Amino acid sequence: MKLLEERIKADGVVKSDQVLKVDSFLNHQMDIGLFRQMARQWRHDFDGAPINKVLTIEASGIAIAAIVAEEFGVPVVFAKKSQSVNLDGTVYSTRITSFTHKREYDVIVSAKFLGPDDHVLIIDDFMANGCAMEGLVQICEAAGATVEGIGIAVEKGFQPGGDSLRAKGYRVDSLAIVESMDSETGEIAFRE
């Protein structure tokens, strides 16, 4: 998506060869007009898919997913970070290794909000190693829900998450795929 690529080039900061900062428009301060354009792109790309739920993960996926859900006219559920998986009735849970914080945590989704009738579009801001998205796919499988696709704002194509999920047969629709980035020059190149 040209609009997102141009915004990343203009306002993204390459913090290291592994980490891209886009907190001025995507995951700290948020440009909702841009989110709306992104949501419309996914709506177009997934036209005809029987999506009846959007699923994301706390915290930075929530705002993007909320706009996407409104665009699709369906509810949005976010997987919650949890200390205790057994507090609140039946839950599906998975353990995720955080890319940015390098630690493990559990996330849960209540069985009340995800089940066999659901056709899910999973949304997140970034894909790196794919651990967060693998976790949400596992939660959908445990719930008997169907994963219609995975929509990512920024995939780092030089890290394995996106291509590994594609190889497993999932439809991964990343609006910008960073092929390489250089923290010294600040240069960012996108996959065609």
Quick one: which of 77, 109, 114, 128 contacts ligand 5GP (CB under 6 A)?
A: 128
Taking the complex as a whole, the smallest distance from the CB of residue 124 to ligand 5GP amounts, in Å, to 5
Quick one: which of 130, 149, 151, 157 contacts ligand 5GP (CB under 6 A)?
A: 130
Which among 38-46, 77-85, 108-116, 124-132 is the span making contact with ligand 5GP, rule CB under 6 A?
124-132
Give CB contacts under 8 A, 24+ apart, made by 58-62: 58/107, 60/26, 60/27, 60/124, 60/125, 60/126, 61/123, 61/124, 61/125
Residues 93-112 that bind ligand 5GP (CB under 6 A): 99-100
Q: What pairs with residue 174 in β-bridges? A: 152
Q: What pairs with residue 104 in β-bridges? A: 97
Look at residues 134, 174, 149, 141 and name the one whose alpha carbon lies nearest to residue 53. Answer: 149
Taking the complex as a whole, the smallest distance from the CB of residue 53 to ligand 5GP amounts, in Å, to 19
Instruction: Please give the single-letter amino acid code of residue 5.
Output: E
Cβ-based nearer residue to ligand 5GP, 19 or 142: 19
Quick one: which of 9, 11, 13, 19 contacts ligand 5GP (CB under 6 A)?
A: 19
Residues 145-174 that bind ligand 5GP (CB under 6 A): 161
124 near ligand 5GP, rule: CB under 6 A:
yes
Cβ-based nearer residue to ligand 5GP, 29 or 100: 100
131 near ligand 5GP, rule: CB under 6 A:
yes
Rounded to 5°, the CA angle 150-154-157 comes to 90
Q: Are 26 and 153 in contact (CB under 8 A)?
A: yes
Cβ-based nearer residue to ligand 5GP, 1 or 165: 165
Exposed / middle / buried, residue 136 (Cβ in 10 Å: 0-12, 13-18, 19+): buried
The residues that touch ligand 5GP, with contacts defined as CB under 6 A, are 19-21, 27, 60, 99-100, 124-132, 161
